[in-house]
Amino acid sequence: MTSLRTEVVIRAAERSDVPRIIELAGQLGYTVSAARVGSAIDVADDRALLVAIDGESVVGWIALARDMALLGEGDGWIEGLVVAEAHRNHSIGSTLLACAHEWARKKGCVRMRVRSNVVRDRAHRFYEREGYRRFKTQHNYEYRL
């Protein structure tokens, strides 16, 4: 068995990371275009895309947004979080979350929120271990334009 590093570096995503970010999104069943990832890298103050680097490789990422909605309190949102299958259970997700929390604090957020599909039991356990609590169950609706 290959030994994995336990030290990763978290940094803002760069254009050279786009193919790997797309590949990791696919591990969760999502299809995302290079243009979409590129726009997430180029965004302004209210968004961030951070990557976890092990050696020279992107082994995880977290996409963040700040929501200052009228009915909110200043929420940080996790739009996506993925760690490569071979690198899971090595605290990389926890490290990404810690960086996300710091980003949100600096943006004036009072809490961090995340939505997780009901079928992702492993993700639910992860967030609960990290101190998140389920506070609401709701239906999501969409209207295609």
Q: What's the CATH code of the domain at 71?
A: 3.40.630.30
- The secondary structure element, H or E, covering residue 60 is strand 57-67
Tens digit of each residue's pLDDT (9 = 90 or more) over 96-138: 999 999 999 999 999 999 988 888 889 999 999 999 999 888 8
According to the model, what pLDDT value does residue 138 have? 85
In a domain? residue 36: yes
Tens digit of each residue's pLDDT (9 = 90 or more) over 46-69: 899 999 999 889 999 999 999 877
In a domain? residue 69: yes
What is d(CA 119, CA 61) in angstroms, rounded to the nearest whole number? 21
Number of domains within the chain = 1
Per-residue pLDDT for 2 more than 50?
no
Q: Count other C-beta atoms under 10 Å from residue 117's C-beta.
A: 10
According to the model, what pLDDT value does residue 3 have? 46
According to the model, what pLDDT value does residue 70 have? 73
Containing domain of residue 75, as a range?
Answer: 9-129
According to the model, what pLDDT value does residue 6 have? 57
Confidence band (pLDDT; 50, 70, 90) for 1?
A: very low
Tens digit of each residue's pLDDT (9 = 90 or more) over 66-104: 987 777 678 999 999 999 999 998 999 999 999 999 999
What is d(CA 127, CA 114) in angstroms, rounded to the nearest whole number? 9
In a domain? residue 95: yes
